Structure formats: structure tokens, C-alpha cells
A and B are shown apart, each in its own frame.
Chain A
């Protein structure tokens, strides 16, 4: 019962460094999402994908890139880390059918110093 798995759980980056946040799901879901959660704020959508090979920008895509080469994996790439990207990142997936639940990973807490 793995569900949505995110790695790493915690990471500290220096300004200008790059990293990839990994997300994988084993539920054969077509839809996958990346959100960021800042203190006292709701979740803001960064990017989403409705299937392998298809990605689309969300509300706050600047500074991030994604790819979806397989149904299972949806990595999020930060090319030049900035302090404004300090946040908790959540990956989620859903089957995409009406009224179905979105399943969330445990989150990745990223600090950029």
C-alpha cells in the first residue's frame, strides 16, 4: 500500500543549487500534481499532468520544471534554487474521474539558504 511516495523528506539547498524532488505512485493514476505549501497558506499548484507525456502549468510554475515520461513518476526540478522556494512540497495523484480522491505524499520540506 505505498500510494504516493516522495523523496527526499527533507533537504537544505544553497542558493543557486539544483535538485530534483522525486514523486512516484503505484495506483496507475493518470493525474499527478505538485503543490507547495507555505506557512499559514493553502496549497498552491505548481504543475500538473493528466497523463504520461503531458504536463501543464499551475498557479506558481516559475523556477520549476517537470516531466512525465511514465505514468508512475512525476519529478519536480528546481534549476537555480532561491530562498523564495523554501517551502513544503506535496505531490498528489488521482484517477482523474469525477469525484475521486486526490492522494497526497508525505511532503518534502525544502530550505534554501
Chain B
């Protein structure tokens, strides 16, 4: 079955860049997502990338996709304390009709002031 792997923890200093990495196994993944979960809250979509793209930039967020290696990364520039949260990588294969998202275990980002 599909599998999505992430490192569990990342700690950075305020103002530095954060890079959160994710690998996935399903070669038919058509969309890859990054969700953010703040304490006590549900998940909120940050950004997504279609599998025929290799990069997407949205303000402080940059998503890089290496489809050959099935590797996805999220870079947060100028990381702020408000970025402290759990970040989930997720994938879906909507073209085959498999609509539910498959999530990684989440990376807990801690930002040190």
C-alpha cells in the first residue's frame, strides 16, 4: 500500500530557514500536499503541488518535488515562532479515483526565539 515517511522533529532558530522532508512510495500519486496542525486544532492546507511540477513557491513557502526519487520538501523562509506546529505531508491519487489522502506521521517544527 501507499506509504508516506517524514522525520518526526525539526528545531530551528527564528529567522532561519526550515526544510521539512517527505518521501512517498506511490508512483501514481498525482497531488502532494503539506498540511499544518497547530496545537489543539485540525489540519489546515498550506500548499499542494501537482506531480508534473517540480517547484512551487507561495510567499515564504517553497515546495520542491523530485518525482524520480519520490521526495517532497517544504522550505519555510524566515521562520517565525508562529510557524511552530506539526507539518504533515500527504498524497492522493485522484486520477485513479482514490480520493482519500494518505498522511505521513508529521514533523514537529519547534522555532527557538
Residues of A within 8 A of B (CB): 4, 31, 33, 35, 40-43, 45, 48, 50, 58, 90, 92, 94, 96, 98-99, 101-102, 104-107
Q: Does B105 contact A (CB under 8 A)?
A: yes
Q: What is the CB-to-nearest-CB distance from B31 to chain A, in angstroms, rounded to a whole number?
A: 6
CB within 8 A of A98: which of B30, B41, B88, B105?
A: B30
| Interface size grouping (class) on chain B | 20 to 34
List of A residues within 8 angstroms of B99 by Cβ: 31, 48, 50, 94, 96
Minimum CB–CB distance for A39 against chain B, Å: 10
Contact sample, A vs B, 9 pairs, CB 8 Å cutoff = A35-B103, A42-B105, A45-B100, A98-B94, A98-B95, A105-B42, A106-B40, A106-B41, A107-B42
Which residues of chain B have C-beta atoms less than 8 A from A92's C-beta? 42-43
- Residue in B45, B88, B95 whose CB lies within 8 Å of A43: B88
In the assembled complex, the Cα of A48 lies from the Cα of B95 at a distance in Å of: 17
